[in-house]
Copies of this chain bind each other. A is one copy, B any other.
Amino acid sequence: MHAAAATVPSCWDRAVSYGDGVFESVLVIEGIAPLWAFHRLRLQKSIQRLGIHCDIAELEKSFWLQAQQNSSAVIKIILARSGGARGYDARPAQDYTVQVKAYPLPHFSSGRIMEGVRLHVCQQRLSHNPAIAGMKHLNRLEQVIAASERPPGWADEGLMLDITGAVIECTSSNIFILRENILVTPRLDHCGVDGVMRAVIMESIAADIPLPVQEARLTLAEIFAADAVFICNSVFGVWPVCSIGVSQIKVQHAITGKIWQRLNAMGYARIYG
């Protein structure tokens, strides 16, 4: 057993004690962060909801500085309320702490794009909390527990349902289906993360394909009955789904191929090898 006894720096006290903050994981490829505008917007919305008054322009400078120093990386931004007093309500709106840190660019097999990925259905459900739904906040025990369920070897990502049984997302990605020539993705008003790649697809790429896009309550049965299923996040891009549990899903590249044309133009090919 390896234990460290270490004092929490007071500026991170509310992040450690309560998860009182948000984060972003931003892909930077050759000095370019193709989705930065979307990350920035989500960050801004989230801290407004949490009542943290942060100077986003300052934070943006730190981000670009890191992007210059690490021209290809995933740059993770953590922004948390600070203030070292004990107690939930000891929260000065004006004090916050930021970490902008570069992690190595991940590499994935191109098989994930070509043959698709295998999902398993997590036992762990997503609870309903409209006040923080959609946000990439620091309360992530549900995802930690869900990720720990992954059966090693045969599943790439865990599919998560909410407490009512609706499909919401994967542990680290959002999900779309194609149904009657409409792209459909789960509504995130009660839980789930409003992913940046999800927003890019809904607000920009879908119109280029062109396909209408809508949010809906989706059950597992509706996922199985779909014409195509794919998952997405801002780091890996888009992966078609080839199976959920023991059920095979037909991979068809008509949609994901068109999305990949756009993503390749943004430099995403760099993370496949």
Max chain B C-beta neighbours (<10 A), residue from A6, A11, A50, A128: A6
Contact A3 B140 (CB under 8 A): no
Tell me, in angstroms, the Cα distance from A140 to B14 when the chains sit together.
Answer: 10
Q: Contacts A17-B78, A140-B18, A145-B131 known; A99 to B7 CB distance under 8 Å?
A: yes
The one of B12, B50, B147, B148 in contact with A16, judged by C-beta atoms closer than 8 angstroms, is: B12
Contact A78 B9 (CB under 8 A): no
The one of B18, B59, B62 in contact with A138, judged by C-beta atoms closer than 8 angstroms, is: B18
Contact A18 B141 (CB under 8 A): yes
State the oligomeric state as a number of copies: 2
Interface string of A127-145 (1 = CB under 8 A from B): 1110110000111111111
Q: What is the total number of residues of chain A having a CB less than 8 Å from a CB of chain B?
A: 72
Beyond known contacts A6-B98, A7-B101, A17-B78: 17 more, CB 8 A cutoff: A2-B94, A3-B59, A3-B96, A4-B97, A6-B11, A12-B16, A15-B16, A16-B80, A18-B144, A19-B140, A19-B141, A20-B144, A88-B144, A88-B172, A124-B131, A127-B127, A131-B142
